[in-house]
Amino acid sequence: MIQVNGREFDEHGLHARAEARKRVGLYDERLLALLDRDIVEEVEEHVFSMIQVVYDLQRSLEERGARLEPPPDLASPGEKPGHARSFLRRMQTRFIRAVNEGYVQQQEKYNTFFTKAVDISYRQLCGAGGGVVMSEAARKRGLWLSRRPQWDVEAVRAVYGLGKFQVVMVGIPGTTILELLREDGRLVVALDNSDEAVAEAQAHFLPAWYHPRPIDILESLRTEELDLLAITFPECLTGSEVEGIIGWSGERMDGKGIVLAGLNRGWSEVLSGDDGFVRYWPRRLLAGLMERHGFVTEDWTAGERRFLKGMKGS
């Protein structure tokens, strides 16, 4: 029961919309399984417990003869207080003391600070280039990712005409192609690491999912009859992601199918992104990856767009 200002709220409309989203594929089995997941399972699966990691580290260092008795302060003599190096050294000193004296469980503020530091480092290493730090890099990346050029009508029509069965799109080049494929019941899902593109598709009740690493959720898709996979903006993916996605489609399209990879360099001013965010993967590299997974490649133009087309069993 839901109460709004103390009065029972009519939930019928809400139920209908939630069911509709499930029907069109916005909520999949993996999502529903994660909703049922008990957080304790995360611990049982041994999420890194900081305390454990710290003690394991200490033990292994000591077993190798390392001594972790810290000097009172690691700051070098004469260094001005407040300098970053001095600060980092003090943090390091504090950390070693925390290990030695078991502070970590006791000092809430220190815990907060330390876990945040771990989190930020983790995000900077593994996240999308900014994490919780609202850096210029994160802002630029967001800006670039939001500028997905839409496909023209000819490109939409030509891609729609490829294949007869299931389609997975990685990168959303507008909602028109998704709507056509959905009407035919062919669209399994459209994945994107731009939330703007996904939000627009969601507004049309199209099965579009956001994920910072689309490759991570391909394995959970049901694609018994996949015969078309389109990587519309490969420059938004890392090299290993591009390879992973092509490899995945090679396995799923055992008999027959097509992989398309957009060749977007020079196509639009909009796509002149900053270094580090836009990676114009060379045609030769993409062809090599496709061929390694059993596709025969050729250049293909649709409307104003250029693609590298990989074909199997044609």
Contact positions vs other proteins (CB under 8 A): 1-6, 9, 11, 13-15, 17-18, 21-22, 26-27, 31, 34-35, 37, 39-40, 42-43, 45, 47-51, 104-105, 108-109, 111-113, 115-116, 119, 122-123, 126-128, 131-132, 134, 142, 195-196, 198-199, 202-203, 208-213, 216-217
Which residue's CB is nearer to other proteins, number 142 or number 294? 142
Which residue's CB is nearer to other proteins, number 18 or number 68? 18
Residue indicated by tokens 């990712």: 145
| Contacting residues for 290 by C-beta, under 8 A, at least 6 apart | 246, 259, 261, 297, 308, 310
Minimal distance in Å, beta carbon 94 to other proteins? 16
| Contacting residues for 264 by C-beta, under 8 A, at least 6 apart | 149, 233, 234, 235, 271, 280, 306
Using DSSP's 3-state secondary structure scheme, residue 143 falls into: helix
Which residue's CB is nearer to other proteins, number 40 or number 84? 40
Minimal distance in Å, beta carbon 311 to other proteins? 31
In a 10 Å sphere around its CB, with 0-12 CB exposed, 13-18 middle and 19+ buried, how is residue 145 labelled? buried
Using DSSP's 3-state secondary structure scheme, residue 71 falls into: coil
- For residues 49, 54, 59, 61, the Cα torsion angle rounded to the nearest 10 degrees is 130
Which residue's CB is nearer to other proteins, number 13 or number 72? 13
Residue indicated by tokens 């890099």: 137
| Contacting residues for 180 by C-beta, under 8 A, at least 6 apart | 156, 160
Which residue's CB is nearer to other proteins, number 155 or number 190? 190
Minimal distance in Å, beta carbon 71 to other proteins? 27
Minimal distance in Å, beta carbon 24 to other proteins? 9
Which residue's CB is nearer to other proteins, number 142 or number 247? 142
Minimal distance in Å, beta carbon 229 to other proteins? 19
Minimal distance in Å, beta carbon 26 to other proteins? 4
